[in-house]
């Protein structure tokens, strides 16, 4: 085939998909890379990261990724032991190949594979064709066999460390590395052998010796012709294993004539779509990688047509009231943007901007406002009849409160709206939402640089930038209003999530009092237990070691004590708590109990030590509640995470004793729902037997166990009750038979049988669980009782692991999400009732299904009645909501 003249702007990039993905899998710890629902992503993350870097650095015009296939190749026919003895591919890796396919498909990058051939052969064929077509070729691979393809038109990029650092190999680099030119590399590899392919070479012969022979005799044929001249042990080994060498040479040869559907000119870079990448990277939770992709590469079509055309009004002192009367009416919703700082229940306001969708905007420095303007701004913000839109309003609300400003009339929070539309997304950045929904960059059209600086490097620029944010919020609010209407989420936003913003902000401002002395004493006590347990562990093995070092724990357990091996990981055998608990049940060595106890106590001490400096001058800790983290709608808390405080151990309960009633109140009150998830499951399934168990008034788990095991209630012992309790809650959370077996530490077949016995008694539950998955697969989402949707595209995935995870989420989301909806509604109702009745008691915390209150003097009975009424009536279930309460000086004393 005649070679076309080389064309500088035609560069073909070829990647060996399996080789690179496998390297990425072992380069990045699988335990550090997984989605919140448990899908491992280390291989797809590493592969995608490398791909972005290579596309950015090499700027190819054409591209393809080749993959191996599971069928035997022609090499297996030539040598049945080819690649024999390779370890089984880890399940965590196998489940990610289809994800890599999805990434490539979303980026419009062709992927090729041919039955009977390896990825190397596909790459060799394309590289040969590309050279003939006058194209330069770059090959990214971790397989050294590809070095035989290197020439003036073909360069190899070979991973040096993981997949983050690539070495460049042209003909000179190959010869410098191996001592032979690329065309001789296959012969060198035949002499040396390749253990990963189960191709044994000549014993005792390494690359240097092999290169010396090939240089001296010209090539392998020359070496064979003079094989009797090779002296010593190496010569004897060569003559003895010459047949292996010749076989290796034949097997190592890459096939350059594989029949392919596409040729190099047909592999041009495709046009990828931003929305498709968003959806995929959202599901993989690749926030940083998405930002790198967008900053490194541009979609072939413009992602944003323009910025925002802002007319910034420069008001004279005293003119703000008139501007607001003209531009901020009941019919005109303004976008409000704020800069400042907030957290720990307070904040500081540094600037504020107001903008309509099309009219003028104004940017204000609160420090420069005269009294009339300050009053006008306060009246506008506090007026519920004048609609406002903000982005992530709770933090700015704290900053406004700190300045004495009240915010009412919030009809949209664009971050919350985006969360309801895309609950699986990890971040809701305003700039990103503007690009996705408005196709505009967050910049002013008058900014010639195309860049927007919000750091105050110029007063005018900062004012303009803040006005741009306000305009973007105003426009996005309208877009999301329409979007949520289509999704049936308008009521959820306006009646639940938006009103909850103020309630959460009030709870953050109030905080909860802590006993500093108790925390200090507890820290000292736990510190002593840490040291004592550490010494017991050292005594159990006869020497000191670092209990916090997985490597040293591995060495002690599996090398010194020779205990049964746990699951293998890249860094050795796992020593996580589940593994060690299982090992303790099997072996019983005392060091295992000491290690587990040490970890537990050390964790508790860490929690206590983190709480001590968080108390403010008034002795109160202010957590931050997050509405947009859990896809199910549950609230979480950070700084500190009050949901992380354990209550099942005595030491954990001692931490709760540190949270106390404030000096100006008389006690704490806690109120939570009894078995709310199970009541929701009974409601949604309509199972008569389950509903009857709730209405009986007896212990729910005992009654259900009695039906399953066919025994009178008084014969249900603690073990049988525990089994059915695990079943009851497990089904509500999508627990599989395998998961149940792990939880109860029984064989999977026994767990499966237990589930079948359960469903014989509660057939309505079985039917509901089957139907909810089928309906979600058809609709693409599940819904809670208030219409909160959880979108689950993986229900139809070809990836078994992702599909099964999506099925578990489909089972779990309606129940857990409905519980989240109900506790939110309960909190809102209680808050309204407290205000309506003029009570001085206040709500401090929501933790899971529990509300915590600070009771004002003389109000305990009234508060209890009010809270019970509002919580019990938050939603009418067929298995009515039941509220448990307790009071006391501390959070622990108030337990019930």
Rounded distance between C-alpha atoms, residue 708 and residue 711, angstroms = 8
Residue span(s) of the chain under CATH 3.30.70.370 come to 629-686+811-896
Overall size of the chain counted in residues: 896
Rounded distance between C-alpha atoms, residue 785 and residue 685, angstroms = 12
Which of 3.20.20.70, 3.40.309.10, 1.20.1060.10, 3.40.50.620 is the CATH number of 518-621? 1.20.1060.10
Task: Tell me the CATH number for domain 11-171+256-266.
Answer: 3.40.50.1010
Residue span(s) of the chain under CATH 1.20.1060.10 come to 518-621
156 three-class SS? strand
Task: Tell me the CATH number for domain 629-686+811-896.
Answer: 3.30.70.370
Mean pLDDT, consecutive 10-residue stretches, the chain (896 aa), reads 57 92 87 78 92 90 90 67 65 86 91 89 94 93 90 92 84 91 87 76 84 85 82 82 80 87 89 80 81 70 70 92 90 94 94 92 94 96 96 97 96 96 82 88 64 50 93 96 95 97 97 97 95 96 92 92 81 83 86 94 94 95 94 92 85 92 96 93 92 86 87 88 84 77 82 86 89 92 94 81 84 92 97 97 95 97 97 95 96 92
Token representation of residue 457: 């490097």
Residue 659: per-residue pLDDT: 97
Residue 449: per-residue pLDDT: 36
Rounded distance between C-alpha atoms, residue 424 and residue 565, angstroms = 37
Token representation of residue 635: 């609230």
DSSP code of residue 5: P
Rounded distance between C-alpha atoms, residue 32 and residue 27, angstroms = 11
Residue 456: per-residue pLDDT: 41
CB distance 283 to 425 below 8 Å: no
How distant is the alpha carbon of residue 388 from its chain centre?
32
Residue 87: per-residue pLDDT: 63
Residue 451: per-residue pLDDT: 34
Q: What is the dihedral of CA 424, 429, 434, 436, to 10 degrees?
A: -30
755 three-class SS? helix
Residue 798: per-residue pLDDT: 75
Residue 301: per-residue pLDDT: 47
Residue span(s) of the chain under CATH 3.30.420.10 come to 306-511
Residue span(s) of the chain under CATH 1.10.150.20 come to 687-810
395 three-class SS? helix
The CATH fold assigned to 306-511 is Nucleotidyltransferase; domain 5 (3.30.420)
Beta bridge partners of 156: 139, 169
Residue 452: per-residue pLDDT: 34
| Max CA separation in the chain (angstroms) | 107
Residue 300: per-residue pLDDT: 45
CB distance 364 to 356 below 8 Å: no
Other CB atoms within a 10 A radius of the CB of residue 828 amount to: 18
Residue 303: per-residue pLDDT: 56
CB distance 437 to 650 below 8 Å: no
Residue 840: per-residue pLDDT: 97
Reference 852, options 891, 821, 882; nearest CA is 891
Residue 202: per-residue pLDDT: 83
The domain defined by 687-810 carries CATH number 1.10.580.10: no
């Amino acid at each position: 085939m005649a070679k076309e003249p080389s064309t500088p702007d035609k560069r073909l990039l070829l990647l060996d998909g399996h080789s690179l993905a496998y390297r990425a899998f072992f380069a990045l710890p699988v335990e550090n890379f997984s989605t919140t629902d448990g899908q491992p992503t280390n291989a797809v993350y590493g592969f995608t990261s490398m791909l972005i870097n290579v596309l950015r650095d090499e700027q190819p015009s054409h591209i393809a990724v080749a993959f191996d296939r599971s069928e035997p190749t022609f090499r297996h026919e030539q040598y049945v032991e080819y690649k024999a003895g390779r370890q089984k591919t880890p399940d965590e890796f196998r489940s990610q190949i289809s994800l890599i396919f999805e990434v490539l498909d979303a980026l419009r990058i062709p992927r090729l594979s041919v039955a009977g051939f390896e990825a190397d052969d596909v790459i060799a064929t394309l590289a040969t064709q590309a050279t003939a077509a006058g194209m330069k070729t770059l090959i990214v691979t971790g397989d050294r066999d590809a070095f035989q393809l290197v020439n003036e038109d073909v360069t190899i990029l070979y991973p040096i460390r993981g997949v983050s650092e690539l070495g460049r190999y042209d003909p000179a680099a190959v010869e410098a590395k191996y001592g032979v030119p690329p065309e001789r590399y296959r012969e060198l590899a035949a002499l040396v052998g390749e253990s990963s392919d189960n191709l044994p070479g000549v014993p005792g012969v390494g690359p240097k010796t092999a290169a010396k022979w090939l240089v001296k005799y010209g090539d392998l044929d020359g070496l064979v012709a003079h094989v009797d001249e090779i002296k010593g042990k190496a010569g004897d080994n060569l003559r003895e294993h010459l047949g292996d060498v010749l076989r290796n040479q034949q097997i190592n040869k890459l096939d350059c004539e594989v029949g392919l559907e596409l040729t190099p000119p047909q592999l041009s870079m495709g046009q990828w779509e931003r929305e498709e990448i968003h959806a995929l990277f959202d599901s993989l939770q690749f926030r940083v990688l998405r930002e790198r992709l967008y900053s490194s590469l541009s979609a072939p079509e413009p992602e944003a047509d323009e910025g925002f055309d802002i007319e910034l009004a420069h008001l004279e002192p005293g003119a703000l009231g008139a501007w607001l009367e003209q531009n901020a009416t009941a019919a005109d919703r303004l976008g409000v943007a704020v800069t400042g700082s907030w957290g720990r229940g307070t904040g500081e306001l540094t600037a504020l901007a107001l903008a309509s969708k099309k009219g003028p905007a104004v940017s204000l420095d609160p420090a420069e406002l005269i009294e009339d303007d300050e009053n006008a701004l306060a009246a506008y913000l506090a007026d519920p009849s004048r609609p406002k839109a903000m982005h992530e309003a709770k933090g700015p609300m704290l900053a406004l409160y700190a300045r004495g400003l009240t915010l009412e009339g919030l009809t949209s929070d664009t971050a919350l709206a985006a969360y309801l539309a895309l609950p699986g997304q990890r971040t809701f950045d305003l700039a990103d939402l503007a690009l996705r929904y408005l196709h505009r960059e967050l910049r002013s059209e008058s900014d010639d640089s195309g860049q927007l600086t919000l750091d105050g490097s110029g007063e005018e620029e900062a004012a303009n930038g803040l006005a741009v944010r306000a305009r973007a919020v105003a426009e996005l609010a309208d877009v999301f209003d329409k979007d949520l209407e289509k999704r049936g989420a308008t009521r959820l936003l306006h009646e639940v999530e938006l009103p909850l913003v103020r309630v959460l902000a009030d709870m953050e401002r109030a905080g909860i009092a802590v006993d500093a002395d108790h925390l200090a004493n507890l820290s000292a006590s736990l510190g002593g237990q840490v040291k004592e347990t550490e010494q017991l562990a050292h005594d159990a093995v006869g020497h000191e070691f670092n209990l916090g070092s997985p490597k040293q724990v591995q060495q002690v357990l599996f090398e010194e004590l020779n205990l049964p091996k746990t699951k293998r990981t890249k860094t050795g055998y796992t020593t996580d708590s589940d593994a060690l608990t299982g090992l303790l049940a099997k072996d019983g060595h005392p060091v295992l109990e000491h290690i587990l106890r040490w970890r537990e106590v050390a964790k508790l001490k860490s929690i206590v030590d983190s709480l001590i400096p968080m108390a403010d001058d008034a002795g109160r800790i202010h957590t931050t509640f997050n509405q947009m983290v859990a896809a199910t709608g549950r609230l979480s808390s950070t700084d500190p995470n009050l949901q992380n405080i354990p209550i099942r151990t005595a030491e954990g309960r001692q931490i709760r004793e540190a949270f106390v009633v404030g000096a100006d109140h008389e006690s704490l009150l806690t109120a939570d729902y009894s078995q709310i998830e199970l009541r929701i499951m009974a409601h949604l399934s309509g199972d008569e037997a389950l509903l009857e168990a709730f209405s009986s008034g007896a212990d729910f788990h005992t009654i259900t166990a009695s039906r399953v095991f066919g025994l009178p209630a008084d014969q249900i012992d603690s073990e049988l009750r525990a089994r059915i309790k695990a079943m009851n809650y497990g089904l509500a959370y999508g627990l599989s038979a395998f998961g149940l077996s792990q939880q109860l530490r029984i064989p999977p077949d026994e767990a499966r049988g237990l589930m079948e016995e359960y469903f014989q008694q509660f057939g309505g539950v079985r039917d509901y669980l089957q139907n909810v998955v089928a309906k979600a697969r058809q609709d693409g989402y599940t819904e809670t009782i208030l219409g909160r949707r959880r979108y689950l595209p993986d229900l139809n995935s070809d990836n078994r692991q992702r599909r099964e995870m999506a099925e578990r989420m489909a089972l779990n989301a309606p129940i857990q999400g409905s519980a989240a909806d109900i506790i939110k509604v309960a909190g809102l109702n209680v808050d309204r009732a407290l205000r309506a009745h003029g009570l001085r008691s206040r709500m401090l915390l929501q933790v899971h299904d529990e509300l915590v209150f600070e009771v004002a003097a003389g109000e305990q009975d009234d508060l209890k009645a009010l809270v019970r009424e509002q919580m019990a009536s938050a939603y009418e279930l067929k298995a009515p909501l039941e509220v448990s309460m307790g009071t006391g000086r501390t959070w622990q004393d108030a337990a019930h």
